[in-house]
Amino acid sequence: SQKIEQNSEALNIQEGKTATLTCNYTNYSPAYLQWYRQDPGRGPVFLLLIRENEKEKRKERLKVTFDTTLKQSLFHITASQPADSATYLCALEEYGNKLVFGAGTILRVKS
C-alpha cells in the first residue's frame, strides 16, 4: 500500500510570506492527489485535487504541484495569513476507491 510522508515538524512562517508544504509518496504514482485542511477539534476539509496529468493547480492563494517523477506534491499558500494556521493533510487514491492520508503538517502563521 501507499506510504505518504509529510513533514512532522511544524512550519512556522511570518504573515505575508509563502508557505510551502511537502508530500512525498513511496509506491506507485496515484491517478490523483488531494489536499485537505484540518482545524483543531474538527474534521478535515477538502481544498484541492490534482490529477497525474496536471503539473499544477491553483485556487485563489493556493497552488499545488504534482511531480510523478519525484513522487512528490508541493502545496503553496501565498500571502499567508494567521487564519491559514491549521494542519494540512495530503491524500492519495488507492485501489478500491479509497484514500490514504499522510499524518499532516502543522502550519503556524505569525502576525
Partner 1 sequence: DAGITQSPRHKVTETGTPVTLRCHQTENHRYMYWYRQDPGHGLRLIHYSYGVKDTDKGEVSDGYSVSRSKTEDFLLTLESATSSQTSVYFCATTPSTSGASDTQYFGPGTRLTVL
Binding site for partner 1 (CB under 8 A): 1, 4, 8, 31-32, 34, 41-46, 49, 51, 89, 91, 93, 96-104
CB of 17 to partner 1, least distance (A): 26
Q: Is 15 helix (H, G, I), strand (E, B) or coil?
A: coil
Burial 88-104 (b: 16+ CB within 10 A, else e): bbbbbbeeeeeebbbeb
CB closer to partner 1 out of 74 and 100: 100
CB closer to partner 1 out of 14 and 27: 27
CB of 14 to partner 1, least distance (A): 27
Residue with cell 491517478: 31
Instruction: Concatenate the DSSP letters of all residues of 99-111 into one string.
Output: EEE---EEEEEE-
CB of 98 to partner 1, least distance (A): 6
CB closer to partner 1 out of 35 and 85: 35
DSSP secondary structure code for residue 60 in this structure: T
Closest-CA residue to 88 (of 23, 12, 15): 23
CB of 104 to partner 1, least distance (A): 6
CB closer to partner 1 out of 42 and 83: 42
